[in-house]
Amino acid sequence: MTTATATSSDASSTSGLNWTPRLWGTLIVLCAAMFLDALDVSMVGVALPSIGSELHLSTSTLQWVVSGYVLGYGGLLLLGGRAADLLGRRRVFLVALGVFAAASLVGGLVDDGALLIGARFLKGVSAAFTAPAGLSIITTTFAEGPARNRALSIYTTCGASGFSLGLVLSGLLTSVGWRWTFLMPVPVALLALLVAVRLLPRPVEERAQGGYDVLGAITGTATVLLLVFTVTEAQGAGWLSPRTLGSLGVVAVLAAAFLAIESRAAHPLVRLGIFRNGSVARANLVAFAMAGAYGGFQFVVTLFLQHLLGWSALKMALGLLPAGAMIALSAPFMGKVVDRFGTGRLLPLGLLSLTAAFALFLRLDEHSSYPVLVLPSMALLGIGFMLAFPSVNIAATSGVADEEQGLASGLVNTAIQVGTAVVLAGATAMITAGSAGGDSPQAQLDGYRPALLFVTAVSLVGLLIAATGALLDRRRGSAAVPVLDAPPAGSDRPSADEVRTAPAPEHVRDAVLTRS
């Protein structure tokens, strides 16, 4: 069942909204870890030129400072989620957070490119274990409904804040020295670790039953690792090169083997039946599209502002601040918004706002001004992530048993990381092909616009999936709230009043809220 449930003194408050200081402290610690995990995805971006200059790294080597983290994070999330279920969420979270702090310290002190990339990979691996463990601690500690929605909204908003504020902090820290982008998380991670040891409860744990799916772990992890590696390297090797096509072929074979193993394993790493839950399946697809589109957009914006408009790292950080600030400030009240309107309504609205933000940026040119071009997109990005990021995480874990919360958390986080890697690789290829290697302003714009069209289209696909899910939930909600006549005498069938006053299941409440 659960590895990190509330203590007996807190248990009664996990289903309500009057939480004890211990519960608040637990949530804050988990939020800090999630913030750091998300922050590291994007924080190193602005520092890359300084890193390359000081360590004498080529462009092809420098990209692995970013890709190494994504490779470790995205490649091992499924294993991290299942490990949390089987080994204990508290234990996995604490060990992985300690590794994250150590790898951050090493990354800030090394003077060798290979060691720096290794430290980034190790940080990604540790994040692959802290993220699903932390999310599943929340979903098994707070009862499904308003309490869990509130906790998840705060938690995921912190993750979105880290993701969006990464470039902002990177610009500020790089102006002091690139090493601070690695060293800054160290004291935060250590403080979170010390508090987590104190606050995360140690009940008699009832872990998920079953053995270890070794073959599933090997093939599943190898599939995701090779996929992320292939799409990252495809830009340099060529998308139609024998190396890329051969690697994609191996990915297909590994994926087929993984599915065959999971369908027959007594205790699978990924129980395929979890995707029969339509909310989980759609949430993972939407997470893939949403994170991928934003990752590609962020890359285009960084190149456009720094290379074409000549902005400094600090100016760019301040220019992107509105989106991150809006997301961070929304954390206290997004839970109430989710309870009021339901994820079925908020998720499409969030994707619509994100898609509009990307589409508006298509107006870019060499004379673009901040108020006309950048600020409107930043405002729409802030609104979009406020609405969509908590909603997609709530939807991805709704209706899932406690013993599979680590799996559900690992799946949605994997979708986010793989989506970022795949769409970013596609956007990079379009920038290179469109500019044809030219450095003139027009050549650069000819590369940026196709990439922006691509990320807008990906976001639109996510919007259509979210809207389809909302429509299906609305139809199911209409059929799921019957009004019964009075039961026959002596019958155990509930009366109409009992039906009207009984609490509806979560998916029905969500659907009814969507219709209201």
DSSP for 194-232, written as a single string: HHHHHHS------PPPS---HHHHHHHHHHHHHHHHHHH
Q: Are residues 191 and 308 in the same domain?
A: no
21: Cβ contacts below 8 Å, ≥ 6 apart: none
Q: Would you say 149 and 162 are in contact if contact means Cβ atoms under 8 Å apart?
A: no
Q: Identify whether 369 is part of a domain.
A: yes
Compute the 3-state secondary structure of the chain and give helix, strand, coil in percent, each to the nearest 5: 80, 0, 20
- Name residue, tokens 């609305």: 474
Residue 75 has a pLDDT of: 77
Per-residue pLDDT of the chain (516 residues; tens, 9 = 90+): 334 444 444 444 555 567 888 889 999 999 999 888 888 877 787 777 788 888 888 766 777 787 788 778 877 888 888 888 888 889 999 999 999 999 999 999 999 989 999 999 999 999 989 988 998 888 888 887 888 888 888 887 787 777 767 777 877 888 788 899 889 999 999 999 999 998 887 755 555 555 667 788 888 888 888 887 887 777 777 888 999 999 999 999 999 999 999 888 887 878 888 888 888 999 999 999 999 999 889 888 888 988 888 888 778 778 888 887 888 788 778 878 888 888 889 999 999 999 999 999 999 998 899 999 999 999 999 999 889 988 998 899 888 887 788 788 888 888 988 888 788 878 888 887 887 777 888 888 998 999 999 999 999 999 999 999 888 877 776 554 444 344 444 444 444 444 444 444 444 444 433 333
Q: Identify whether 515 is part of a domain.
A: no
Tokens of 5: 């449930």
Round to whole Å and give the CA distance between 342 and 511: 7
Residue 208 has a pLDDT of: 53
Q: Are residues 255 and 318 in the same domain?
A: no
Q: Are residues 190 and 217 in the same domain?
A: no
Cα-based distances in Å from 516 to 314, 346, 387, 478: 45, 13, 18, 12
Q: Are residues 143 and 271 in the same domain?
A: no
How far does the chain reach from its first CA to its final CA, in angstroms? 34
Q: Are residues 271 and 246 in the same domain?
A: no
Of 202, 223, 238, which closes a domain?
Answer: 202
| Closest to 287 in 3D by CA, of 419, 152, 456 | 419
Round to whole Å and give the CA distance between 133 and 3: 10
Q: Identify whether 229 is part of a domain.
A: yes
Residue 207 has a pLDDT of: 53
Q: How many domains does the chain have?
A: 3
483: Cβ contacts below 8 Å, ≥ 6 apart: 496, 499, 500
Round to whole Å and give the CA distance between 33 and 366: 39
Cα-based distances in Å from 253 to 108, 210, 258, 297: 39, 27, 9, 31
Domain containing residue 32: CATH number = 1.20.1250.20
Q: Would you say 159 and 34 are in contact if contact means Cβ atoms under 8 Å apart?
A: yes
Q: Identify whether 403 is part of a domain.
A: yes
Q: Identify whether 165 is part of a domain.
A: yes
pTM above 0.95, yes or no: no
- Name residue, tokens 């893939």: 288
Q: Are residues 222 and 326 in the same domain?
A: no
| Closest to 136 in 3D by CA, of 323, 358, 398, 405 | 405
Round to whole Å and give the CA distance between 21 and 53: 47
Round to whole Å and give the CA distance between 265 and 382: 43
Q: Would you say 505 and 279 are in contact if contact means Cβ atoms under 8 Å apart?
A: no
Q: How many degrees, rounded to 5, is the angle at CA 413 between CA 399 and CA 306?
A: 140
Helices (H), 304-367: 313-319, 321-329, 334-341, 343-360
Q: Would you say 51 and 117 are in contact if contact means Cβ atoms under 8 Å apart?
A: no
Q: Are residues 82 and 114 in the same domain?
A: yes
Q: Are residues 308 and 292 in the same domain?
A: yes
Q: Are residues 305 and 405 in the same domain?
A: yes
Cα-based distances in Å from 292 to 31, 296, 297, 481: 22, 6, 9, 37
Q: Are residues 307 and 414 in the same domain?
A: yes
- Residue 447's H or E segment, with its range, is helix 441-479
Q: Identify whether 508 is part of a domain.
A: no
Cα-based distances in Å from 44 to 165, 420, 455: 11, 15, 22
Round to whole Å and give the CA distance between 19 and 13: 6
Q: Identify whether 392 is part of a domain.
A: yes
| Closest to 412 in 3D by CA, of 393, 391, 386, 387 | 393
Q: Are residues 361 and 341 in the same domain?
A: yes
Q: Are residues 232 and 326 in the same domain?
A: no
Residue 514 has a pLDDT of: 38
| Closest to 161 in 3D by CA, of 276, 368, 328 | 328
Q: Name the DSSP letter for residue 241.
A: S
Round to whole Å and give the CA distance between 398 and 199: 26
Q: How many degrees, rounded to 5, is the angle at CA 433 between CA 316 and CA 222?
A: 85
| Closest to 465 in 3D by CA, of 288, 313, 282 | 282
Residue 3 has a pLDDT of: 40
Q: Would you say 316 and 428 are in contact if contact means Cβ atoms under 8 Å apart?
A: no
Tokens of 506: 């979560």
Q: Identify whether 124 is part of a domain.
A: yes
3-state secondary structure of 487: coil
Radius of gyration of the chain measured on its C-alpha atoms: 23
Helices (H), 12-145: 21-42, 48-55, 59-87, 89-109, 113-141
Residue 491 has a pLDDT of: 46
Q: For residues 460-478, b (16+ Cβ closer than 10 Å) or e, as one string?
A: bbbbebbbebbeebbeebe
Structural domain for 182, as ranges: 22-202
